[in-house]
Chains A and B, each alone.
Chain A
Amino acid sequence: MTAGLVRGLAVLALLATASYSAALLTPRRELGLDTPRLVALIPERFGSWAAEPTTVLPVLLVPDVLADAEASQTESYDDVLMRTYRRTDGARVMVALAYGRRQTQELKIHRPELCYYAQGFAVSALGARSVQLDSGRTVESRALLTENRSRTEIVTYWIRVGERVANDAWDIRWTIFRDGLDGRVPDGLLVRASSLTETAAGAEHELVLQHEFLADLYGALPVVTQRFLAGHEVVL
């Protein structure tokens, strides 16, 4: 055997080791539910809220809208729920949930900033807001002001990745990476609440309304579903 062939075989051994290590390191334990069925998880009535037929066209949960709007959502997610709720005093909140059973670096929840932008809205950030879900649980959310020629929509959202909430693109990537090294494939859920306002000045009022809606919803859910919505990271 020539020295060249020995070196060639050594290269092969190294490359085969790399391939085998990659297979060993690949996360296999999936955190996601098999069939979440958002329709069944989120009640149509709770507290003073009741779902009603949607009157305005909700912004889709994907940035790239295909000819068939429905298809472009089901292609990206394992389950999607879009509803409008009306409170007994007449206030309305639109809610949109998008669930992905497996989150990976290149296949994950689309952030609402991009979805609104791609659907013709000008988007400006209103910053990070804590939502008090109940006495023991707050969740970090993002608030957005979105406008197009026919409406102004205020948005609150958060994204749960695995057990924690991560709203920043790098935080999401980091969470997926960390879970992956632990052998876990996290699932992902986008929780988006939004409402229409006449002017941008009404933004704070709408955000308060959305936080009330989210807290009321959270309070009406069993613990399992609460965790499904907001994760169960222990905050000290």
Chain B
Amino acid sequence: MTVGSTIVLPGGLATARGSGAMWWPVVAGLLVLYLPTYLDLDAVYWARENGAPGIVVVAIWLWLVWRARAALQTQRRTRAGSVAGWLAIVTGAALYALGRSQQLFQLEVGSQLLIVPGIVLVLLGPAATRRLWFVWAFLAFTVPLPGSLIDSLLVPLKEFVAAAVTDVLFFAGLPIARDGVVIYVGPYQLFIADACSGLNQLVALAAIGVLYVHVAAHKARMHSVLLLASIVPVATIANVLRVTTLVLATYFGGDALGRQLHDYVSYAEIAVAFGTFFVLDHALTAWRRLRLRRSAA
């Protein structure tokens, strides 16, 4: 099909090159809705402890849209698609109004998952919407976990980190003990704060990991499954390493050193987690090649 040509379809609906002008009001509308949302997200969620993941997710999402720009050029609208699209937009708009006014961030941010694909359904049709499913699904990573859920995730996660760190250092001969999530080492008392649970880094690695698996599009399904399954253990081990480093720094270098290192070690943790993830990917590829060569020989 040549770009710009018009073919009359049975339903009287046309396949055409999407006109650029129709996107301007859409972009303006999305900005009116979600610019305040993202500013609030930034203030309420991302600014706390390691706020990077949120911004990174948005940047990645914009990149995904840009990457899919070719698919955004073709229009093949259907009546059913339009009806579904308008319905999704209206439902999303209602959820947005309720969520934003009552500070239910999950509804407010989650409404994107209806509104954005709804708009594409209406403007471009079902084919383009389906082809870009990953772009819409990826928006789910911008939805913050509700506080109550975080609390019930944090409790076992913090307990695990505290226990793992205490056990490792106890066997290494340090005078260390713990009461739940409070670690006593030498003269120091250390709280495993929410940030130390590594939940943020886990979500960040999950976003990057899912993206990586999607973009790399490994032919072997097993490869992708193994990579996705490695996200939780890799992030957890990296976090235990981080907290262990901080406990050691505090014990040997004093309270001030521990606090000074706190932020740097977070960045190191992300680097270690991502590094391990990519090394694992290469190892899997190498192993598959090796097996192929063996079976060929």
Interface on A for B, CB 8 Å cutoff?
Answer: 2, 4-5, 7-9, 11-12, 14-19, 21-27, 63-67, 104-107, 114, 117-122, 148-149, 169-170, 173, 176-177, 180-181
> With a CB–CB cut-off of 8 A, which chain A residues contact B24?
8
B93 touching A2 by the CB < 8 A rule?
no
Cβ of B26 and Cβ of A122 under 8 Å apart? no
Please tell me which one of the listed residues A17, A106, A148 contacts residue B179 in the complex, with CB atoms under 8 A apart.
Answer: A148
CB distance from B179 to the nearest CB of A (A): 4
Q: Are A117 and B180 in contact (CB under 8 A)?
A: yes
Q: Which residues of B contact A107 (CB under 8 A)?
A: 44
B159 → chain A closest CB, angstroms: 9
Q: Does B29 contact A14, Cβ atoms closer than 8 Å?
A: yes
Q: Are B32 and A15 in contact (CB under 8 A)?
A: yes
Interface centre among A64, A177, A180, A181 (most CB of B within 10 A): A64
Among A11, A19, A27, A104, the one with the most B-chain Cβ atoms within 10 Å of its Cβ is A11
**Are A5 and B147 in contact, with the CB atoms below 8 A?**
no
Provide the residues of chain A in CB contact with B44, threshold 8 Å: 106-107
Q: 5 A-B pairs, CB-CB below 8 angstroms?
A: A22-B97, A22-B100, A105-B103, A119-B191, A120-B180
| CB <8 Å contact, B194 and A63 | yes
Known: A65-B191, A105-B102, A173-B148. A120 touches B179 (CB 8 A): yes
Asked if B33 contacts A27 (CB within 8 A), the reply is: no
Complex alpha-carbon distance, A106 and B115, angstroms = 24
Residues of A within 8 A of B33 (CB): 15, 18-19
Q: Which B residues are closer than 8 A to A by beta carbons?
A: 18-19, 21-26, 28-30, 32-33, 44, 75, 89-90, 92-94, 96-98, 100-105, 115, 119, 122-123, 146-148, 151, 155, 158, 178-182, 191, 193-195, 259
In the complex the two chains form, is B193's CB within 8 Å of A117's CB?
no
Q: Is the CB of B102 within 8 A of A177?
A: yes
Q: Which of B30, B98, B148 contacts A15 (CB 8 A)?
A: B30
Residues of chain B within 8 A (CB-CB) of A180 are 101-103
Q: Is the CB of A18 within 8 A of B94?
A: yes
Nearest-neighbor residue (CB-CB) of A116 within chain B: B180
In the complex, the number of residue pairs spanning A and B with C-beta atoms less than 8 Å apart equals 132
B259 in complex: contacting residue of A67, A118, A120, A170, CB < 8 Å:
A67
Cβ contact within 8 Å between A8 and B22: yes
Are A7 and B22 in contact (CB-based, < 8 A)? yes
Residue from B26, B102, B146, B180 in contact with A8 in the complex, judged by beta carbons closer than 8 Å: B26
Question: Closest CB-CB distance, A147 to chain B, in whole Å?
Answer: 9
Specify which chain A residues have a CB less than 8 angstroms from the CB of B105 in the assembled complex: 105-106
What residues on A are CB-neighbors of B103 within 8 Å? Answer: 104-106, 180
The answer to whether B147 and A106 touch across the interface, beta carbons within 8 angstroms, is yes
CA distance A18 to B119 in the complex (A): 14
Tell me if B102 and A18 are in contact (CB < 8 A): no
Q: Assess whether A117 is in contact with B32, with CB atoms less than 8 Å apart.
A: no
Pick the residue among A11, A66, A104, A119 that contacts B26 (CB under 8 A). Answer: A11
Question: What's the minimum C-beta distance from A170 to chain B, rounded to whole angstroms?
Answer: 8
In the complex where A18-B96, A106-B147, A173-B148 touch, is A117 in contact with B29 (Cβ < 8 A)?
Answer: no
Task: Say yes or no: B193 contacts A181, CB within 8 Å.
Answer: no
The smallest C-beta distance from A38 to any residue of chain B, in angstroms, reads: 25
- Whether A15 contacts B115 in the complex (CB less than 8 A), given A7-B22, A105-B105, A106-B105, comes out as yes
Give every chain B residue within 8 A of A118 (Cβ-Cβ).
158, 181, 191
Contact of A21 among B97, B148, B179, B194 (CB under 8 A): B97
Q: Which residues of B contact A63 (CB under 8 A)?
A: 151, 194
A122 touches which one: B23, B97, B158, B180 (CB < 8 A)?
A: B180
Which residue of B has the minimal Cβ distance to A25? B101
